[in-house]
Amino acid sequence: MKNYELMAIFKPNLDAEEVEKVIGKISSVITDFGGSVVSIDKTGRKKLAYDIQNFRDGFFATIILSLPADKVAEFKRQLRLSDSILRTMFIETSVKASV
């Protein structure tokens, strides 16, 4: 399994409980695909640099996760299907070399 970092921006019209539900759903999808959630960092509501779908701000969350490489495409598809998410950035994190 590889390690990944997911940063998601949720719609600002969601309240805190709804954001928690969406993050919980993302976590359950990760575990269903045989992965694991390492950490979840909820940054909170922030102003966006430019409008996305006519929203000026959004709720930011960063999830560090491990996922099998063959499940990444399906996981990204599941993220795109969610109506609560404005934008995502999904990157592979590498292990830093020790000197």
Top-confidence residue, 98 or 65 = 65
Residue type, 88: T
- Asked if the structure places residue 64 within a domain, the reply is no
Question: Is residue 50's pLDDT more than 90?
Answer: yes
Question: Is residue 98's pLDDT more than 70?
Answer: no
Whole-model pTM: value is 0.86
- Asked if the structure places residue 43 within a domain, the reply is no
- Asked if the structure places residue 49 within a domain, the reply is no
**Residue 97 pLDDT:** 59
Give the range of the structural domain holding residue 30, as residue numbers without chain letter: 1-38+72-93
**Residue 83, helix vs strand vs coil:** coil
Number of domains in the chain: 1
Tokens of residue 30, six digits: 């990760």
- Asked if the structure places residue 46 within a domain, the reply is no
pLDDT digits (tens, 9 = 90+) for 63-97: 999 999 899 999 999 999 999 999 999 999 877 75
- Asked if the structure places residue 56 within a domain, the reply is no
Kindly give, in sequence order, each residue whose CB lies less than 8 Å from that of residue 30, ignoring residues fewer than 6 positions away: 36, 37, 63, 65, 67, 75
